[in-house]
Structure 1
């Protein structure tokens, strides 16, 4: 059979898009490898109606709701290849099976590249975060450490000062001019230039000079990139942004390849569950319209 839409990536954005298409009684194949970006976090925040809920619970509930629609096919696998063109795409799964679709949606998410600091990756999503709106409130106005990765970290520290007493740890990734340093200090932000040796405990920063700084939580701006090479393999333009790279899309969530759409973190910055759901819902509606009126989509 040929599916109306093949959705590659079944997390929040992919499921939100699928829901719109299923309610339009379109046949949807979701191929999902189960690697949600927020799989390390125990609670999701800032998502109306789901504040404080385990992200895994949100995802499993959403999938059960999708499975109530008879035109859904869900494949727990990884998409490993894609060829074709609009109305005649072929997606290959890890098992070597070929699946045909008229449209393709990339909702594959992004990969976060963290600084190479001992103990940092193990605490990602638990006491090391990237989004203050998702995790700042729970730190109860305690001490917050911001690990610099580049010039944007200055703005991250200024923003996080809204949630607690912030310290910017430059860690060799940022050289501040005197006026920039003075500006941060006037806002009550401490600047620490000694390099980081390791992260221990919940959010204890061990410095190379032997000192230890304890924080309620740590924040770091990661560098992001699409989790899958399939979009670029198919010819989709990959755009640079202040956070890294994502798939270039227009206002209708279309990529530069006709018949191919993208949504969620892989096509939208910043990343949060609420944004992913909204972006996915928009993509689903636009994909349905492309099936109804293909001549109007450009």
Structure 2
């Protein structure tokens, strides 16, 4: 019986395991190796690691966990999970079953770019999803934003305000955003093109957006806030509440609605937040927060058990 089973070995999962290891908790970390930011060559806004490759960050993290004997890292995926607090059981893809008193879900999300030829293949290299992560590197370039959803239209406005004087919003055949949005975009100098996009080609600094009417738009980079889905269905299997946007509901302690199950990273969010955060540093922070409060809960539970045994 492990104290904690951590599902997922990204920034959130590794950070949670590090906290548990330092508190001498018996921890199993199960990770299948799929990383949401795998196409990215750099990560940003993590102090002391700004601009470093994400793969190096993960390698360093795994190496640091090896210093703590009570932490076991295992390659694989968790195919199923069930149980309740102090009696959870997970089944790995190789059929192995393991038990844990608590579970931390750090399984993340998967980006699903529009089915435009060339778009997904360039995701992370010259097609970016986040102005905080890639806006600085796009400064001064002519930019395009490909998004149908009116809620994402203001991404073009933000880029025009911060990083570029030449931004085109490609709504890919969708209706024009509402007037209150278009008026703001117009004030920021954003051009709106409703023609469906047929293909995206080229590379950073020389990207071509081809439309179905034959026109071509030359850009330095493209931004695309892709739809997402949960990487794993384990939260649903365990009975956790899922918010309307598909993320796992957590409270300020990273606790889900199922006692003994916490969730960290972009797989989860507080209901008050509009979207889950995708930054490495915030995912790591979620993992630390989840582990700190979960460790305190384990301590109190053990103390109560000792008191009952002594009475």
With the shorter chain as reference, the TM-score category is over 0.9
Look up the SS of the partner of 1:275 in the other structure: helix
Distance 1:179 1:258 in 2: 43
**2:103/2:262 contact within 8 Å kept:** yes
Distance 2:228 2:218 in 1: 27
Look up the SS of the partner of 1:265 in the other structure: helix
1:175, CA displacement in angstroms?
A: 2.0
| 2:292 aligned residue | 285
| 2:163 aligned residue | 163
1:48, CA displacement in angstroms?
A: 1.1
Q: State the Cα deviation string for residues 165-202 of structure 1 (Å, max 9, x = none).
A: 22111112342345643431221111112211110112
**1:25/1:71 contact within 8 Å kept:** yes
| 1:198 aligned residue | 199
1:47, CA displacement in angstroms?
A: 1.4
| 1:56 aligned residue | 55
Distance 1:134 1:273 in 2: 10
Look up the SS of the partner of 1:38 in the other structure: coil
Q: Note the aligned Cα RMSD (angstroms).
A: 1.5
Look up the SS of the partner of 1:80 in the other structure: strand
1:295, CA displacement in angstroms?
A: 9.8
| 1:114 aligned residue | 113
Distance 1:251 1:25 in 2: 24
| 1:188 aligned residue | 189
Look up the SS of the partner of 1:101 in the other structure: strand
Distance 1:177 1:75 in 2: 50
Number of positions where the alignment pairs a residue of Structure 1 with one of Structure 2: 292
Q: 1:286 to 1:212 in 2, by over 3 A?
A: same
Distance 2:255 2:178 in 1: 42
Q: 1:252 to 1:179 in 2, by over 3 A?
A: closer
| 1:247 aligned residue | 248
Q: 1:180 to 1:24 in 2, by over 3 A?
A: closer
1:224-235 residue pairs with structure 2 within 5 A? 224-235=228-239
**1:148/1:174 contact within 8 Å kept:** no
Deviates more, 1:255-264 or 1:194-203: 194-203
Look up the SS of the partner of 1:22 in the other structure: helix
Distance 1:180 1:250 in 2: 32
Distance 1:224 1:177 in 2: 24
Q: State the Cα deviation string for residues 66-117 of structure 1 (Å, max 9, x = none).
A: 1111101011001001121111111111110011100000000011121111
Look up the SS of the partner of 2:283 in the other structure: helix
**1:85/1:258 contact within 8 Å kept:** yes
1:37-48 residue pairs with structure 2 within 5 A? 37-48=36-47
| 1:272 aligned residue | 279
**2:208/2:217 contact within 8 Å kept:** yes
| 1:84 aligned residue | 83
Runs of at least 5 residues in structure 1 that lack an aligned partner in the other structure: none
| 1:209 aligned residue | 213
Q: 1:105 to 1:140 in 2, by over 3 A?
A: same
- TM-score normalized with structure 1 length: 0.94
- TM-score normalized with structure 2 length: 0.90
1:121-160 residue pairs with structure 2 within 5 A? 121-160=120-159
| 1:236 aligned residue | 240
